[in-house]
């Protein structure tokens, strides 16, 4: 069983809007359990959001759970991570805010005790995400599931070693990327499209421009929005409904769509068109998934952070890059925090949840949090025991950047954005092996559960 729905979540502000933002919901359910009292435990909710991220993702999941009756551990949020898709800045024009919701939104009921923790805009946003999920759940109907893949590359690995020995943003043609798009097609029994989910691994940072005090002066979905619009046009020649078209971000933590930060809407449009053509190609060669009960498996890894010595921190605080406003990611805040930890001899640990689901004996969804480097997606693809493995990153956005051993072994402040100590709290180089072992464990044990 499957249902899908969407809502526009573009905030009404004084900012320039070059494209609407969406919350899209896909709900899957075990057909054999739909009429039983245990039906709720057999649902799966996937939400794709045109947002950079969300600090209150737990509240969103609880609200969806209250709205739909589906347990929170079956609700997954995926963020496109468009750098032009943040919350409203300045005055939010609530009286001018359009709504595409079709059901009433009882904010206090769905938000519960969290209602007073959120500003007006955030309550509105959470309500409209939950309403899309509820509408999708209410419209589930008998369906078939299909999976496919096609080549796609709209960007490059962004980590480039500069002449000064530091990693900075750039174009690294020899660096790792995930050169494909995965597509999951959901069709009603009569062949009508219910939803199409297509994924790719690349930061949506082409329009990425007009930063003012760390905030964009424009709002929009970057290449994922253009890709959805183009795919809609490519499918419009077919004599059936397009259904809900959903972009899902994969492990693009170290990949940028090209050209980065150009502010070039034509280039963004071209990247979206390229990705849409790839998704259309995959849709033309899908494999139907043999339906079985949805199964789920998860493990939470405890990853140690690399805490520098007191002398290292004090030396870094003298580095000119931390005091140069023209340098990327300048500032001493995180170094001062690490110095405090080093002086107190404390160790920090990052919880990294790895989750996987099967919706057929050979289709696995591997769901990873935060900004995972693409090497982890490539590894999962290489070792997976499933015929089809769709890997998504940015799930619930509960962690930041997660790099590899070679990234964390770079000395001092040379590691670059998200890895160097002045931009993040680096993990210990040993975490790569731990994460790979965790991915292999989850996939292997889930495969055994499907025998």
What confidence score (pLDDT) does residue 166 get?
92
The first and second tokens of residue 343, run together, are 């002086």
* pLDDT tens track, the chain, 451 positions: 999 999 999 999 877 889 999 999 999 998 654 554 444 447 899 999 999 999 999 999 999 999 999 999 999 999 999 998 877 766 788 888 999 999 999 999 999 999 999 999 999 999 999 999 999 999 999 999 999 999 999 999 999 999 989 999 999 999 999 999 999 999 999 999 999 999 999 999 999 765 554 556 788 999 999 999 999 999 988 777 899 999 999 999 999 999 998 888 999 999 999 999 999 999 999 999 998 889 999 999 999 999 999 999 999 999 998 998 877 778 899 999 999 999 999 999 999 999 999 988 899 999 999 899 999 999 999 999 999 999 999 999 778 999 999 999 999 999 999 999 998 889 999 999 999 999 999 999 999 998 8
What confidence score (pLDDT) does residue 211 get?
53
What confidence score (pLDDT) does residue 31 get?
67
Using CB atoms within 10 Å of the CB of residue 319, give its burial: 0 to 12 exposed, 13 to 18 middle, 19+ buried.
Answer: middle
Question: Cβ neighbours of residue 77 under 8 Å, at least 6 residues apart?
Answer: 47, 49, 54, 57, 60, 61, 395, 396, 397
What confidence score (pLDDT) does residue 404 get?
98
What confidence score (pLDDT) does residue 95 get?
85
Closest C-alpha among 265, 255, 249, 153 to residue 206 = 265
């Amino acid at each position: 069983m499957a249902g899908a729905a969407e809502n526009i979540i573009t905030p009404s502000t004084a900012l320039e809007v070059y494209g609407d933002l969406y919350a899209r919901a896909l709900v899957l359910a075990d057909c054999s359990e739909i009429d039983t009292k245990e039906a709720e435990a057999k649902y799966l909710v996937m939400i794709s959001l045109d947002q950079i991220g969300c600090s209150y993702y737990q509240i969103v999941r609880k609200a969806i759970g209250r709205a739909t009756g589906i347990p929170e551990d079956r609700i997954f949020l995926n963020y496109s991570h468009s750098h032009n898709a943040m919350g409203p800045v300045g005055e939010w024009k609530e009286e001018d805010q359009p709504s595409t919701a079709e059901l009433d939104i009882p904010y206090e009921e769905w938000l519960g005790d969290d209602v007073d923790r959120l500003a007006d805009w955030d309550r509105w946003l959470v309500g409209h995400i939950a309403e899309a999920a509820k509408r999708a759940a209410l419209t589930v109907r008998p369906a078939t599931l299909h999976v496919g893949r096609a080549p796609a590359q709209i960007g490059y690995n962004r980590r480039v070693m500069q002449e000064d020995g530091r990693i900075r943003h750039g174009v690294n043609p020899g660096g790792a990327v995930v050169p494909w798009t995965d597509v999951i097609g959901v069709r009603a029994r009569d062949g009508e499209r219910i939803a199409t989910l297509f994924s790719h691994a690349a930061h949506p940072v082409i329009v990425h421009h007009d930063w003012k005090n760390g905030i964009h002066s424009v709002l929009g979905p970057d290449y994922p929005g253009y890709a959805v619009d183009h795919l809609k046009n490519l499918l419009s020649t077919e004599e059936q409904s397009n259904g809900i078209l959903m972009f899902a971000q994969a492990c693009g933590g170290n990949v940028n769509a090209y050209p980065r930060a150009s502010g070039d809407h034509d280039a963004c449009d071209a990247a979206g068109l390229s990705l849409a053509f790839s998704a259309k190609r995959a849709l033309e060669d899908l494999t139907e998934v043999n339906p079985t009960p949805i199964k789920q498996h998860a493990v939470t890894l405890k990853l140690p952070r690399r805490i520098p010595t007191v002398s290292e921190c004090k030396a870094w605080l003298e580095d000119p890059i931390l005091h140069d406003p023209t340098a990327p990611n300048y500032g001493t805040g995180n170094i001062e925090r690490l110095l405090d930890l080093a002086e107190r001899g404390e160790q920090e640990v990052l919880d990294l949840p790895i989750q996987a689901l099967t919706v057929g004996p050979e289709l696995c969804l591997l769901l990873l949090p935060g900004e995972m480097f693409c090497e982890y997606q490539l590894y999962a693809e290489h070792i997976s025991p499933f015929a089809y493995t769709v890997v998504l990153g940015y799930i619930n956005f509960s962690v930041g950047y997660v790099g590899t051993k070679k990234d964390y072994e770079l000395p001092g402040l040379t590691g670059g954005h998200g890895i160097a100590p002045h931009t993040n709290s680096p993990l210990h180089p040993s975490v790569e092996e731990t994460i790979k072992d965790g991915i292999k464990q989850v996939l292997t044990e889930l495969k055994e559960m499907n025998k």
